[in-house]
Chains A and B, each alone.
Chain A
Amino acid sequence: MKLWKTILAAAVLTLAAAGTSAFAARTDLVIGIPLEPPHLDPTAGAAAAIREVTYANVFEGLTRIGPNSEVLPDLAESWTVSDDGKVYTFKLHTGVKFHDGADFSADDVKFSLDRARAENSLNAQKQLFAAIDKVEVVDPATVKITLTHPQGGFLYNMGWGDAVIVSPKSADTNKEKPVGTGPFKFDSWAKGSSITLVKSDHYWGAPVFLEKVEFRIVPDAAAAVPALLSGDIQAFPFFDPDSVAQVKDDPRFKVVVGATEGETILSINNKQPPFDKLQVRQAISYALDRKAIIDGASAGLGLPIGSHMSPTNKYYVDLTGRYPHDVAKAKELLKEAGLENGFKATLKLPPPSYARLGGEIIASELRDVGINLEIIPVEWAQWLDQVFTKKDYDLTIVSHTEPNDIDIYSRKDYYFNYDNPTFNKVIADLDVTTDEAKRKELYAEAQKILADDAVVGFLYELPKVGVWDAKLQGLWENAPIPANDLTKVKWSE
């Protein structure tokens, strides 16, 4: 009898709980992220996963970058720039507290920036701070930054995850227990499994909707799909395009395809024979069937590119018609290069599915023109070591996700081993040109040189595919920077 009562009581409680949750909107969220961050301090590591958890949620900077790559005020409510473009004066928000209760002031800004640009700093993006000459505290709510030379992108730079403001009290322990000024504070980290953030009690800005957010680490796409389907995880902001077919017809989910700044290319070692011959590189470009690659490696998502520029960029020129898919032409070029019997080469593939799947398709397409590729899958550590640092490779596939980075082809000793004085001159001119029409012309010329030289095989612009519960609102569509900004996320209902 007593047992029955207990069970009945429990049942009533359960029903009551179910009832309330049906009326009030949910305030919890489980987000799937592909890689576990090594630690949670964005000022001491390059891993995108650190930013995917902390950016705009835990840590804030003077400025921040918005969903469409725009610069927005953050801890600095406003700023003025001197006429010579060298002195920035930031007016800071007042009444801001760090999660540990410490007050935020201009001293923290000076501390954070000086720390990031110090001699022994391990900041992964030190170049962001290279232009800073000195940082001065004017009063607790005002800070003055003097640059050595005017820098157009300075406010954008201060919005990067690497430039967030930390407190001197907690700076050394942020790796394990991050303390910032953001709307969410760190709660717990079950290593290898998940990281939990909870709403901060004394946030200075607009209140957020979610009470508790768990970032669950789901490294492979095979596990991501069932986790989504079973409702364990409600959002994957960075979903593997290859798995979209599994969820796109399910009304419970929303598939959102946005843009990234990732030019996906078949990188070629330009000094490695026979790739030092222009005909061979052009033959490769003719042999590539971009449509098949996009369909097979990216579920048909992603825009084809003909040079190193995102189609959404204002300087973009369409060069996709430069090398149409033409097997006969490719064979002819190989014959001209004295390689009518084809040759063997290697293709080193890093872990992402665009590389591994794209690699299989490209190997098959190049086989059709007589180039036999041996596929060598490598981990990121090996890729950075062998391909990027030691340039020990023939071909590789990688997506260059930094925005507006066509200048990499002019860098000395960059892993393409490409060295064209004409191209270098164009990039050098760009640096000192401010006239917009002229810049556009120069950018067009740079793109055309790369296409004519067939420096690499230009494939497509990497899409940013997000999949989440259809009732969830406010997640970013595009990915201008690695981040999962949760400040505007809420459940409808």
Chain B
Amino acid sequence: MIAYLLKRLAIALATLILASIVVFAVLEILPGDPARLMLGMNASADQIELLRDQMGLNAPLIWRYLHWAGGLLSLDFGRSYTYSVPVIDLVRERLAVSLPLALIALALSTVIAIPVGLFSASRRGRAGDTISMGAAQLGVAVPNFWFALMLIYVFAVWLRLVPAGGFPGWSAGIWPALKSLLLPAVALALPQAAILARVTRSALIEVLNEDYIRTARAKGLPYRTVLWRHALRNAMIPVLTILGLQFAFLLAGTIIIENVFYLPGLGRLVFQAITQRDLIVVESVVMLLVAAVIAVNLLVDFSYAAVDPRLRSRS
């Protein structure tokens, strides 16, 4: 057991280090000079050299990698070229948008998906099941940015119920801030809910076929009790796994939605940083997201080990 966990941990760390080398190397070959971009068309070559020196862009490659990677470890991500503030501050500010957005989307998706999955599973093969699973199929097929565009024009432009985009900041009050996250969260949640509903349904059906459920039914327990008390609890394991993966996906995968609603989140930070050649921001945020994915995967591995006795005995 311990040996297994240690091995997983070592693998995760190795992946992280490899990933950092890949990220650094890839960004080094991005075309375009950040110093030239900052100073514009009228700047002289000398001024650009001066700025490059100030930004530390003229140092040798290896030294810059070690400097950057060392900084990551101590949570010192360096300073943004374009904003000239510590990257960690930028990330913290952006997380204040992306994290709640991902959480709301996840909550919405769960609140929609689990009842639908439950309903479908309990009505397997009947009209209700076919309709809800058909809807889920549709949900998976709709591109979320297109759905977002439609939502904006119905709820923001036409009905004027919520803002069309932007984020007032949490200082403007909880409600205005939440309101501006509502449409993006719905747009993000829909395809996730569709996937989750399907997983919930098949997990439930699988559990319902297990012997102990049959036994419970044979004992004369009502179907509802069996479904709620026994089946749902056992079906939660695959559902939670998917939820964990979806969370990592939501955190990283909001780039398009954040652009549609011009939300100042992590995804848009990276998108803008790429076009502005703010390499240090791109490197740091990508690494952070990669680390998040690896951490979630590791947690999933660990929870499997905790749940599955066969894994516990294997080492």
Quick one: given A39-B83, A220-B259, are A126 and B164 in contact (CB under 8 Å)? no
Instruction: Say yes or no for B12: interface residue by CB 8 A criterion.
Output: no
Instruction: Say yes or no for A127: interface residue by CB 8 A criterion.
Output: yes
Interface stretch of the complex, out of B13-21, B107-115, B130-138, B155-163: B155-163
Quick one: given A175-B84, A190-B93, are A217 and B262 in contact (CB under 8 Å)? yes
Instruction: Say yes or no for A245: interface residue by CB 8 A criterion.
Output: no
List which B41-61 residues lie within 8 A (CB) of chain A.
41-44, 47, 50-51
CB contacts (< 8 Å) of A191 on chain B: these are 83, 85, 90, 93-94, 264
Interface stretch of the complex, out of A222-230, A303-311, A460-468: A222-230
CB contacts (< 8 Å) of B156 on chain A: these are 226, 229-230
CB contacts (< 8 Å) of B264 on chain A: these are 190-193, 217
A389 touches B36 (CB 8 A): yes
A232 touches B37 (CB 8 A): no
In Å, the complex CA distance between A143 and B161 comes to: 57
In Å, the complex CA distance between A288 and B40 comes to: 30
CB contacts (< 8 Å) of B42 on chain A: these are 46, 124-127
B166 touches A194 (CB 8 A): yes
| B167 contact from A39, A175, A193, Cβ within 8 A | A193
CB contacts (< 8 Å) of B31 on chain A: these are 381-382, 385-386
Determine the residue in chain A with the shortest Cβ distance to B90.
A191
A38 touches B38 (CB 8 A): yes
Interface centre among A47, A176, A227, A389 (most CB of B within 10 A): A227
In Å, the complex CA distance between A232 and B275 comes to: 27
List which B164-202 residues lie within 8 A (CB) of chain A.
164-167, 169
Instruction: Say yes or no for A45: interface residue by CB 8 A criterion.
Output: yes
CB contacts (< 8 Å) of B50 on chain A: these are 120, 122
A38 touches B83 (CB 8 A): yes
Instruction: Say yes or no for B241: interface residue by CB 8 A criterion.
Output: no
Q: Give the size range of B's interface with the partner.
A: 35 or more
CB contacts (< 8 Å) of A381 on chain B: these are 31-34, 36-37, 275-277
A193 touches B166 (CB 8 A): yes
B36 touches A230 (CB 8 A): no
Instruction: Say yes or no for A216: interface residue by CB 8 A criterion.
Output: yes
CB contacts (< 8 Å) of A394 on chain B: these are none
| B38 contact from A36, A46, A232, A351, Cβ within 8 A | A46
- Shortest C-beta distance, A213 to chain B (Å), equals 15
- Shortest C-beta distance, A88 to chain B (Å), equals 23
Quick one: given A39-B84, A191-B90, A232-B165, are A122 and B41 in contact (CB under 8 Å)? no
Interface set of B (CB-CB < 8 Å, partner A): 31-34, 36-44, 47, 50-51, 82-85, 90, 93-94, 149, 152-153, 156-157, 160, 163-167, 169, 259-265, 268-269, 272, 275-277
What are 19 A-B pairs at a CB distance below 8 A? A38-B82, A38-B83, A45-B39, A45-B40, A122-B51, A126-B42, A175-B84, A190-B167, A192-B265, A192-B272, A193-B166, A194-B169, A217-B262, A222-B260, A227-B165, A233-B166, A381-B31, A384-B41, A385-B33
**Smallest CB-CB A-B distances: 6 pairs:** A46-B40, A192-B264, A381-B32, A226-B164, A193-B264, A38-B82
Interface set of A (CB-CB < 8 Å, partner B): 36, 38-39, 45-47, 120-122, 124-127, 175-176, 190-194, 216-220, 222-223, 226-227, 229-233, 351, 379-382, 384-386, 388-389
Using A39-B82, A47-B38, A381-B33 as known contacts, list a sample of 13 further A-B pairs with CB atoms less than 8 Å apart, ordered by residue number in A: A124-B42, A191-B85, A192-B264, A193-B264, A217-B264, A222-B260, A223-B260, A227-B262, A229-B164, A232-B165, A382-B31, A384-B33, A386-B31
